[in-house]
Structure 1
Amino acid sequence: MVDENGLQSQPTTMDHREPNMITALLSGGAAGLGVDVTLFPLDTIKTRLQSEAGFKASGGFKGIYSGIGPAAIASAPTAATFFLAYEGVKQLFSNRVPSKYEPGLHMFAASAGEVAACVIRVPMEVVKQRMQAQLYRSSIQVVRVTLQREGFRGLYRGYMSTVIREVPFSIIQFPLWEMFKKSWSHHQGRCVDSWQSSLCGAVSGGMAAAITTPLDVAKTRIMLADHNSSIAKGNIANAIRIVYGQQGVSGLFAGVVPRTMWISLGGAVFFGIYEKSKEFIQSKIGLNK
């Protein structure tokens, strides 16, 4: 990283070793799988609260693990792709960007990571959420019916709304996570431990989750809507208008409590596993040497 005068700053004892691409790939995959499988029931409750049919009609507390198959399959490659792009962009520009613009770099890196990760995430989300809302009996049936009715593009319904949800979320969460870690490092005079990074991730994730809930509601409605309906076209502004017209502000923040809880806990698990995996790979396997 360069300083405010454009000169390269010297590393301190509090600097983290930046992971190489293999480390980022493996650590991100482990983190994604861990958080998605562990906290899947909270995600199901959130989805059912946000569905147009309502929580009870969508299954209530029954079949709380419906859709976990596609979620588990896609979670590792999705998170791995995100961190591959995130760490790659950070390392590409870290020595070219003054330190005072570091949060902007983290926002840009997180945005790049989300655009890449959504290529894998969105088809999984479509299948997972339709299973969570108990619209189909199996994941295979979701894929078969979607392809028959909408073609391959049907599996990517909501791609833009997902990106529009994820990018604002990430440009809030990741700069906060990096800032909290940096502040804690300076306070204690050394690098944060994995558990401290985990707590930073929980706080930053919860804050980002609460703020971006209306975008998540719109994305959920788009993915669950009948393919002939206007909301299924994927216009997130239109989806927000429809939800607001039907249910007001409370509808736009449907599921905000389980979403915030889920992502706060998820942030703790996700970043804790990521940092611990990174430490293990760097120290035991020596991929950065």
Structure 2
Amino acid sequence: MIREDDPRFRITPFQQMASACTGALITSLFMTPLDVVKIRLQAQQKALLSNKCYLYCNGLMEHICPCGETGLVPRRVHFQGTMDAFYKITKLEGVSALWSGLSPTLVLALPCTVIYFVTYEQLRFRTKTFYNKMTATTDQPMWIPLISGASARTIAVTIVSPLELIRTKMQSKKLTYSEINTALKQVIKYEGYGGLFRGLGSTLLRDVPFSATYWTTFETAKKHITYPETEKNTFFFNFFCGSLAGSIAAFITLPFDVIKTHQQIELGEKEIYGDSKLKQKASNMQDIARNIYKNHGIKGMFTGLLPRIFKVAPACAIMIATFEYGKQFFQTYNTQKYKEKMQRHQEVVLMAKYA
């Protein structure tokens, strides 16, 4: 059996990047419709949404657009639930609306996904290696994937945050690159470089706990679930563990996701419309959470739970199963190359010996 941490066969960061890209592409194609429905149900809570700002997400990155300019939902539509949202979106906007923003998302989400997964793998491997040397064991305690997952998500989200601001401006209306450059200069002039990271706090509040919970659950499930050891690296087993981990992490962090959705909409309205009234509106996380609880109760903090679970569980399952399959593919490839290299070396030694 090939050891994953064997330095002779371990896959390179570039091979990890290729595995992550493949997973992100497949995940986005399959999971976009469910996240579009989830965001619609969450956004329905906001009265400001009726004739202004519409937020959707395909599982890798959120998008904000003004309804009037995109032609999305020309009048207020009330969704009774998940299936009703699927039906009404398809009927009023067409089937293609369920895959809204796929192209621009992939352009920016792929780098974020690559940074996230490669950083996690590198942090987990290096931390585990250091821990094993210090303790003379081969175990991986739960805190290693927890810290690695949280750290990797923090790094990835922070790096991509300025790109999300640019994307929001580009999607709000047609802008030339010179106009985007001018807009960014104005943000820096009046708000400093910190203005490029608007909304980062709420994003981290949602994504970091999710990543920490997800990776801890995933690695723990792989280790402790009773299953033949020779089949623990199969696509099916990784799919199951990824689905389980994603479901648990999605449930725990759903309130953060709801708050993030509301704050993202407010920030998008300010960027898109420059409404002076909106600029005076408080948009910190505590006020948003308090307002949601006041108007909708505890149930409001878990709006979109069903579509979020249905989306996140298979999305995490597909992403991690594809990623792990890619890792195994490259590990097998590296093993074969290593064997061929050793065989050629032995042939050279034998030829030199009998020459």
TM range (shorter): 0.7 to 0.9
Determine which of 88, 94, 99 is the counterpart of 1:65.
99
Question: 1:205-284, aligned counterparts within 5 Å?
Answer: 205-225=246-266, 226-227=269-270, 228-232=279-283, 235-284=284-333
Q: 2:11–2:330: 8 Å Cα contact kept in structure 1?
A: no
Provide the C-alpha distance between the structure 1 equivalents of 2:140 and 2:327, rounded to a whole number of angstroms: 25
Q: Tell me by how many angstroms 1:122 deviates.
A: 4.0
Gaps of 5+ in 2: 55-72, 78-88, 189-193, 271-278, 339-355
Provide the C-alpha distance between the structure 1 equivalents of 2:197 and 2:39, rounded to a whole number of angstroms: 18
Determine which of 151, 155, 158 is the counterpart of 2:187.
151
Gaps of 5+ in 1: 1-12
The equivalent residue for 1:82 is 116
The equivalent residue for 2:4 is 16
SS in 1 for 2:36: helix
Q: 2:128–2:140: 8 Å Cα contact kept in structure 1?
A: no
Provide the C-alpha distance between the structure 2 equivalents of 1:50 and 1:287, rounded to a whole number of angstroms: 50
The equivalent residue for 2:218 is 177
Provide the C-alpha distance between the structure 1 equivalents of 2:235 and 2:331, rounded to a whole number of angstroms: 14
Could you tell which deviates more after superposition, 258-267 or 242-251? 242-251
1:166-216 deviation per Cα after TM superposition (whole angstroms, max 9, x unaligned): 1111111111111111224x6313243122101100111011101111000
Q: Does residue 196 of the first structure (1) align with residue 237 of the second (2)?
A: yes
Q: 1:81–1:117: 8 Å Cα contact kept in structure 2?
A: yes
Q: 2:150–2:211: 8 Å Cα contact kept in structure 1?
A: yes
The equivalent residue for 2:23 is 31
Q: 1:157–1:223: 8 Å Cα contact kept in structure 2?
A: no
Letter in 2 for 1:182: K
Q: Tell me by how many angstroms 1:148 deviates.
A: 7.2
The equivalent residue for 2:57 is none
- Larger radius of gyration, structure 1 or 2? 2
SS in 2 for 1:192: coil
Provide the C-alpha distance between the structure 2 equivalents of 1:34 and 1:120, rounded to a whole number of angstroms: 23
Question: What is the number of residues matched between the two proteins?
Answer: 270
Q: 1:231–1:238: 8 Å Cα contact kept in structure 2?
A: yes
Provide the C-alpha distance between the structure 1 equivalents of 2:111 and 2:153, rounded to a whole number of angstroms: 13
Provide the C-alpha distance between the structure 1 equivalents of 2:302 and 2:142, rounded to a whole number of angstroms: 28
CA, structure 1 residues 102+231, in 2 after alignment: closer, same or farther (shift >3 Å)? farther
1:127-151 deviation per Cα after TM superposition (whole angstroms, max 9, x unaligned): 88899xxx9467989x959947973
SS in 1 for 2:98: coil
Q: 2:21–2:113: 8 Å Cα contact kept in structure 1?
A: yes
SS in 2 for 1:96: helix
Letter in 1 for 2:147: F
Provide the C-alpha distance between the structure 2 equivalents of 1:100 and 1:86, rounded to a whole number of angstroms: 18
CA, structure 1 residues 158+250, in 2 after alignment: closer, same or farther (shift >3 Å)? same
